[in-house]
Amino acid sequence: MAEDIKPGTGSSKNPLLILLMITNIVTMSAVAYFQWRFMELESKRPDLATLLKEGQSDEGATDEAKAQVSVSEEKLLQLESFTVNLAQGDGPRRYLRLDAVLKMSDDAKKEEFEARKPQIRDTIISILNTKRADDLLKKEGKDYLKEEIKSSINSYLVDGRVEDVYYISFQIN
């Protein structure tokens, strides 16, 4: 007769391998659950464009909604996109694409901002034209650029001032 296979000796499973597989399945399930929860929360979070639109159209909101928006709303003024040549270093010609939002103080007037928009754009373009790509690739360079933009714009604003500059996109090619 053919070989007799004794039960338990031929194809027995390693208990450590089974334990590791169960641990792996539980861990992967937990990771998948937390990723799903994070993505669900992220999908409910409003983007900057929505916040800007809500800040401009408060007229039809209820008192409770107005209070909530006024607490979270800051005077954010979005600038049009900038595409400028950077100062040439030793390498090839480089340029910068920048989308930015200015955070204005509470006493700032939108009318003054609109009237000075060409002056603000000219100031920012002039500042960006003096920068080299190597300077702007570092975090310190980007932070210094923010401070330089703020101080330059604040030098000629009458009502209010720029409190901060937020980069929405910052691309060097």
Give the closest residue to 106 by CA, choosing from 73, 62, 79. Answer: 73
pLDDT > 90: percent of the chain: 38
How far is CA 118 from its chain centroid?
A: 25
Cβ atoms of 75 and 106 closer than 8 Å: yes
Mean pLDDT of the chain: 82
Q: What is the pLDDT of residues 43-61, one digit of tens each?
A: 887 777 776 676 666 555 5
The whole-angstrom separation of Cα 38 and Cα 31 is: 11
What is the model's pLDDT at position 71?
35
The mean pLDDT value for 147-160 works out to 90
pLDDT of 4 reads: 56
Tell me: the pLDDT tens digits for 96-139? Answer: 999 999 998 888 888 888 888 999 999 999 999 998 888 888 89
Asked whether 102 and 79 are in contact (CB, 8 A), the reply is yes
Q: What's the rounded Cα separation, in Å, for the pair 4 and 7?
A: 9
According to CATH, the topology of domain 79-172 is Tetrahydropterin Synthase; Chain A (3.30.479)
CB atoms within 10 A of CB 61: 14
Give counts: helices (H), strands (E), the chain: 7, 4
Contacts (Cβ under 8 Å, ≥6 apart) of 55: 69, 73, 75, 76
Q: Residue 34's pLDDT band (boundaries 50, 70, 90)? A: very high
